[in-house]
Amino acid sequence: MVNIAVFVSGGGTNLQALIDAQTSGRLHSGRIRLVLASNPGAYALERAKNAGIPGVVCSRKELGSQGGFEAAISKELEAHGIELIVLAGFMSILSENFTKQWPERIINVHPSLIPSFCGKGFYGLKVHEAALSYGVKVTGATVHFVNEIPDGGRIIAQKAVEILPGDTPEVLQKRVMEQAEWVLLPHAVEQVAAQMEKERA
């Protein structure tokens, strides 16, 4: 099985979707071996603990620089034998220096249909606010590989979600999570892990 690290910053609902997929056997080509949080108060660490998965904190603020932050992350990844990284609501940008060491081995989920409402500055509720103010009728989620360009890596999977009259950014965010992110991410992680296993065989 492929050893997976999930990077988190907040509540960890996408992490929970991955843990549930692992428990039910939908995610079977990889195993979550580490949850790494950029924020010591992330509830996602509690979810990891409840699932018996090691959790660590690497805070850029405390480590003082991007270089120190990424060196600490690399040390943890090495210690846990990680082969695949999943960004699940990870609010820190990783440098080109870091991402090029993991070509098509870092996966991110973004709450829009890329290339719409993505790139620098588009994260969390801001994405849904932009979709609503633009007046689009359909949004969704995208799972893609991570490279040096924010939201610029190759797309793995997308799922559309309808925008309904009266939607607020919060209501839309919840629907995109439930109908797209939590479905798409475990499926895409399994797909990539299965391909990695095949390449190893």
The tens place of each residue's pLDDT in the chain, 201 residues long, gives 999 999 999 999 999 999 999 999 999 999 999 999 999 999 999 999 999 999 999 998 888 899 999 999 999 999 999 999 999 999 888 999 999 999 999 999 999 999 999 998 899 999 999 999 999 999 999 999 999 888 999 999 999 999 999 999 999 999 999 999 999 999 999 999 999 999 988
- Which residue ranges make up each domain of the chain? 2-200
How much is the pTM?
A: 0.95
Local structure of 131: helix, strand or coil: helix
Range 20-58 burial, b when 16+ CB lie within 10 A, else e: ebbeeeebebbebbbbbbbbeebbbbebbeebebebbbb
How far apart are the C-alpha atoms of 14 and 87, rounded to whole Å?
Answer: 9
**CATH: 3.40.1160.10, 3.40.50.170, 3.40.920.10, 3.65.10.10. Which one for 2-200?**
3.40.50.170
Report the catalytic residues.
110
